[in-house]
Structure 1
Amino acid sequence: MEPSVHHFSELFAQLGLPSDTPSIQAFIARHAPLAEDVRLEEAPFWTPAQAQLLREERIDDADWAIVVDRLNLALRAPA
């Protein structure tokens, strides 16, 4: 069985955020760059539920961990 490939849009939908491309780009532009000493799920812009989802997906689910890591990298890049 091949692992599922998830996209930013699916992760943003899971987080309860607008998941269209312009909204995702705007979110990243608004919140980047995230300081290197701040873990993704500890960033101040997440709700407690969103932070918990990110933490759990990165730890528990290899399929989702890939896209969570991509989001982490996107938020660390200079705006």
Structure 2
Amino acid sequence: METTNHEFHELFEQLGLPSSEQDIRAFIDSHRPLAGDVKITEAPFWSPAQAGLLKELLLQDADWAEVVDQLNVALH
């Protein structure tokens, strides 16, 4: 099975968010620290569609799961 490594900017594009390096840093800085007991998929700043996409990517253990995990770490 072949896997694809995705970058933060690609995940932000999938989420419909600005995806420049500066935009990503600003997003993370403005939303962290996320409380330790809050799952990334349940963070209050996601739209229902964004939260659903993140859940789907994690549940499917998709190629995207690694970059979602990295975002989770950055936000916590």
TM-score band, normalised by shorter chain: over 0.9
Q: Deviations over 1:20-63 (max 9, x none)?
A: 00000000000000001111010000000000000000111431
More helix by share: 1
Residue identity (%):
62
**Partner residue in 1 for 2:44:** 44
Query: 5 Å matches for 1:1-79?
Result: 1-76=1-76
- Deviating beyond 4 angstroms after TM superposition, the runs of 4 or more aligned structure 1 residues are none
Cα RMSD, aligned residues only: 0.9
Gaps of 5+ in 2: none
Show structure 1 runs of 5+ residues with no match: none
TM-score normalised to structure 2 length: 0.96
